[in-house]
Structure 1
Amino acid sequence: MTITTADTTRQDDLDALRDVVAELERAQNAEDVDAFVALFREDAIWTTGGGRLLVGRDAIADFTRTVLPGAMRESTSSYVPVHVLFLRSDVAAVKVRQIVTGLDGSPSVDEAYEGSPMYVMTKEDGRWLLTANQNTVVVSD
């Protein structure tokens, strides 16, 4: 899927942002808590799909250690960046499409569902980090 953006001159940054999302996907599917948490800025905020606000990497780590291990036994998630808005040269809003399915690609135990995360990332010492993030479950009619 192609990322849409008004700024097509930033291919290196678009590739780097795509890599962060790909690493988030890999870490979640592998239930790799440390790799997942390493993607966040120290003072990041994260709102879970259930609406829980987590402030700071330590709170994100504590929460992730309780929910991620074992979470991917019966499902897998894919994350695809679909739109990037560069707010400044070192700040980007990244809209992501998340699809959760069973391990064989079929609807998961609870049915396949789609998420619509928004990740605001900041570039720190040349590295893009998750900074202000909101997970949203897409409700179908």
Structure 2
Amino acid sequence: MIEIRQPEDALYAFQIAWNGHDMESFEALFHVDATFVNRFGHYVRGVSAIIEMHAPIHATIYRDSTLKNELIDVVPISDDAAILHFWSRLTVGAAHPAGPHAVDTLILTVMTRQDGQWRIKALENVTLTNPRTGEAVLRQGGGL
């Protein structure tokens, strides 16, 4: 588990927990009452619901997946709150029904510090798509 000392540490901690398919470390990223919107628009509230949404896919279709995250920006709101935007490339393997492929998403997180601990209060994940066709596209350029 990576300690989140500043808000931008969250995207690396998220990446490491995902790539290790480590639901305990993934759970530790979020406040108990956090919200999560996945790339398909599924909204859940509470860390238990976030883990319930992710544990089954990490045991099945995403068991051989990896993420690579790239920070876009950090927008401080106060000493105890910040908004992060980051690109995330999800690469899935043979375990996925559609076979190996990659998807780029843009993630927005609201980070808050409570009791001296930075955690994710809200996260929303949006798939990068072609607005004319709705097809998922990979981002050109950048480090991903």
User: TM-score, normalising length from structure 2?
Assistant: 0.76
**Counterpart AA for 2:52:** D
The equivalences for 1:62-77 within 5 A come to 62-70=52-60, 71-73=62-64, 75-77=65-67
**Counterpart AA for 1:140:** N
Q: Residue by residue, what CA displacement relative to the aligned partner does 1:30-62 show, whole Å, maximum 9, x if unpaired?
A: 100111011100110000111100101111121
The equivalences for 1:28-39 within 5 A come to 28-39=18-29
Structure 1 equivalent of residue 42 of structure 2: 52
Q: Aligned pairs, how many?
A: 123
> CA RMSD of the aligned region, Å?
2.1
- Partner SS for 1:17: coil
Identity value in percent? 24
Q: Indicate how the Cα distance of structure 1 residues 67 and 78 shifts in structure 2: closer, same or farther if over 3 A, else same.
A: same
Q: Does 1:92 align with 2:108?
A: no
**Counterpart AA for 2:91:** T
Q: Residue by residue, what CA displacement relative to the aligned partner does 1:97-117 show, whole Å, maximum 9, x if unpaired?
A: 1112367xxxx9453221100
Whether the 8 Å contact between 2:8 and 2:84 is mirrored in structure 1 is: no
More helix by share: 1
Structure 1 runs of 4+ aligned residues shifted over 4 Å read none
Structure 2 alignment gaps of length 5 or more? 132-144
User: TM-score, normalising length from structure 1?
Assistant: 0.78
Structure 1 alignment gaps of length 5 or more? 1-13
Aligned counterparts of 1:109 and 1:126: Cα–Cα separation in 2: 42
